[in-house]
Amino acid sequence: MLEVDLPRSFVVREQHHRIHNPIDEGKLALLGRVLRLRPGMTMLDLASGSGEMLCTWGRDHGIAGTGVDISRVFVEQARSRARELGVEERVSFVHDDAAGFVAAEPVDVVACIGATWIGDGLRGTVELLDRSLRPGGLMLIGEPFWRQDPPDEAAVRGSHVQKKDDFSDLPGLVESFGALGWDLVEMVLADEDSWDRYVAAQWLTVRRWLDENPDDELALAFRDELDTAPLDYVRYQRRYLGWGVFALMKR
């Protein structure tokens, strides 16, 4: 049995999220349409979270596939969502570490949306995903980029980024796909509204959790977070940090 899991603080903070990235339901549906998904296509989603992408695409486009995530809570939420949408016969979810996970059979679509740490960065994640992809298939990568050049260390840290060099601007990110041998064939980018739905929704969850759990070992850290996170977000992250899902095909 897998022993590792996501930090408890992350699960508490995003326990009510169906999508654990700054892409909302409308943009997720748009992404499925522009990729021209067809019934019978197969998909592997690494770091699949609560399974919203795989479940809704199974319902709307008839695809089948597997999601892999390290969080027990999110995997159970994904299985529940599959039952709710009536797609549990087509999609399944595995509690496992997505790092190093390779499909038993090549799939038509392989994805890692917002979790390229599973391959120690963009290059390693692309190499990992490629191991599960059939020739001519689609690779989906969700990755941040700098919308504007952060002027100082406060802007970098306030955007929840460790080092400015961790990410490039959008042209630099697109250029990196080409340097790795992949064509960019589609993309759907987050906007300020979809960022709000991802980040601002965490504040209500944290505040209500604090009211219900004032003596929990996480309470002091969450109280500090709620004191600073909203201002950091509106001052820095919402302005400087972009994010998108990029569809790639191997050259």
Instruction: Give the residue among 71, 196, 187, 70 at the shortest CA–CA distance from 139.
Output: 187
Q: Which amino acid is at 117?
A: W
Per-residue confidence at 67, pLDDT binned at 50, 70, 90?
very high
Per-residue confidence at 5, pLDDT binned at 50, 70, 90?
confident
Q: Is the pLDDT of residue 202 over 50?
A: yes
**What would the pLDDT profile of 17-50 be if each residue is shown by its tens digit?**
999 999 999 999 999 999 999 999 999 999 999 9
- The backbone torsions φ and ψ at residue 142, rounded to the nearest 5 degrees and listed phi first, read -100, 125
148 within 8 A of 156, measured Cβ to Cβ? no
* pLDDT value at residue 1: 47
Total residues found in the chain within this entry: 251
Q: Residues 197-210: what's their mean pLDDT?
A: 97
47 within 8 A of 70, measured Cβ to Cβ? yes
The dihedral sign for the CA sequence 182, 43, 95, 28: positive
Q: Which fold has domain 8-250?
A: Rossmann fold (3.40.50)
Q: 187: which strand partners?
A: 246
* Cβ-proximal residues to 28 (8 Å cutoff; 6+ apart), any chain: 19, 52, 53, 56
CA atoms of 187 and 16, how far apart (whole Å): 26
* pLDDT value at residue 217: 97
Neighbour tally for 77: CB within 10 Å: 21
Counting residues of the chain whose pLDDT is more than 70, the rounded percentage is 99
Tokens 């219900």 found at: 212
**What would the pLDDT profile of 134-183 be if each residue is shown by its tens digit?**
999 999 999 999 999 999 999 999 999 999 999 999 999 999 999 999 99
